A and B are shown apart, each in its own frame.
Chain A
Amino acid sequence: MSNPELKLQIKRLMVENLMLQITAEEIADGIPMFGPGGLGLDSVDALQLVVALDKSFGLKISDAEAAKGILQNVNTIAAAIEQKGQAAG
């Protein structure tokens, strides 16, 4: 799977699971998930995202520190999924 396709899948998952009022295409790869100037997600959104990423991609985010690194933006999530794939392969 090419990287842009993976990123689009992640964005669709976010829109669907977090009931975002924007389309997947409107989410920039590097836009921050949290904080001002970003998507404005909160801790409950993060919780849902962790569960959805595990269910859809088998990405296990085991602790808050790992979540902080992975859930920065779509790029970091895609990187984590690809890294997991490489480790498994």
Chain B
Amino acid sequence: MNPRVILITGANGGLGQAIARSFLQESAENQIWLGIHTRLEQAEKLAKESPDRCRAIALDVTRPDSWKAAVAEILARHQRLDVLVNNAGHHEDALLATMPLDSWRRILALNLDGVFHGCQAVLPTMIAQRQGRIINIASLSALLAPAGQTNYAAAKAGVLALTQSLAKEVARIGITVNAVCPGYVDTATLAMDEMERKRAIERIPMRRFGQPGEVAAAVRFLACGEAGYITGSTLKIDGGIF
């Protein structure tokens, strides 16, 4: 396995952390960049654990200038960028009838615009390399569109469409673009009380929540050499919900 330079956004969260650890374990030579914005503690802790291979970098995914600066810093150090994992995301659930316009815009900006800006920021480098992997973390909400998530479901469905369209654009250049759709994954963002957890588990054929490491393994697979013929795909990781 050749050492690779990997940028993961939303790297302070449970899923981002698991993805970073998975790539750290994959090869002792992988260089991991943890894109972080407002919350830093976990990412900085991980960076301190592997200071030679893992660095935290300031990145507001909603701002093109922030992407430009982050990618420039990575290229200044490594002269290449092999994998982008667009993982940053957040949801603010509300019924559409009462959803504040700001909430709609905020969720679209973070979950969908952020992916657009990220792909645009790394593509010149990946095109010049004639090689690259982009993995977008979508959500089962993109496919099931639950009530109360019009903003989040629309944004994540947009990510799936972006993934497929971009995959076609860059396929012949050696760049793959894929998405994963995690279902219920046991992270801090899955804020549920005991009753909600019980109801959710009843809907999952495997009768358990997914672990962040199980999503991370799928991301690592889509980024590996053996997955070179997979592009424009959506991989559901949801314990069998459909």
Q: Which residues of B contact A54 (CB under 8 A)?
A: 124
Q: 9 A-B contacts, Cβ less than 8 Å apart? A: A17-B130, A44-B169, A44-B170, A44-B173, A47-B169, A51-B124, A51-B128, A54-B124, A55-B128
Q: Which residues of A contact B169 (CB under 8 A)?
A: 44, 47
Q: 3 closest A-B pairs (Cβ-Cβ)?
A: A51-B127, A55-B128, A51-B124
**Which of chain B's residues has its CB closest to A17's CB?**
B130
Contact with B along A70-84 (1 / 0, CB 8 A): 000000000000000
Q: Which residues of B contact A51 (CB under 8 A)?
A: 124, 127-128
Contact with A along B53-66 (1 / 0, CB 8 A): 00000000000000
Q: Which of A2-50 contact B (CB under 8 A)?
A: 17, 44, 47-48
**Are A48 and B173 interface neighbours, CB within 8 A?**
yes
Interface residues contributed by chain A, number (CB under 8 Å): 8
**Are A52 and B128 interface neighbours, CB within 8 A?**
yes
Bound complex: CA A27 to CA B173 (Å): 22
| A-B contacts besides A44-B169, A55-B128, 13 pairs, CB < 8 Å | A17-B130, A44-B170, A44-B172, A44-B173, A47-B127, A47-B169, A48-B127, A48-B173, A51-B124, A51-B127, A51-B128, A52-B128, A54-B124
Q: Which residues of A contact B130 (CB under 8 A)?
A: 17
Q: Which residues of A contact B173 (CB under 8 A)?
A: 44, 48
**Which of chain A's residues has its CB closest to B127's CB?**
A51
Of the listed residues B124, B127, B172, the one surrounded by the most CB atoms of chain A closer than 10 A to its CB is B127
Q: Which residue numbers of A lie inside 8 Å of B, CB to CB? A: 17, 44, 47-48, 51-52, 54-55
Q: Which residues of B contact A52 (CB under 8 A)?
A: 128
Q: Which of B115-145 contact A (CB under 8 A)?
A: 124, 127-128, 130
- The smallest C-beta distance from B75 to any residue of chain A, in angstroms, reads 12
Q: Which residues of A contact B170 (CB under 8 A)?
A: 44
Bound complex: CA A51 to CA B130 (Å): 11
Bound complex: CA A51 to CA B173 (Å): 12
Bound complex: CA A17 to CA B127 (Å): 9
Bound complex: CA A89 to CA B130 (Å): 32
Q: Which residues of B contact A17 (CB under 8 A)?
A: 130
Contact with A along B204-215 (1 / 0, CB 8 A): 000000000000
- The smallest C-beta distance from A57 to any residue of chain B, in angstroms, reads 13
Q: Which of B166-185 contact A (CB under 8 A)?
A: 169-170, 172-173
**Which of chain B's residues has its CB closest to A56's CB?**
B128
Of the listed residues A17, A51, A52, the one surrounded by the most CB atoms of chain B closer than 10 A to its CB is A51
Bound complex: CA A11 to CA B169 (Å): 23
Bound complex: CA A54 to CA B130 (Å): 15
Bound complex: CA A48 to CA B175 (Å): 12
Bound complex: CA A51 to CA B125 (Å): 8
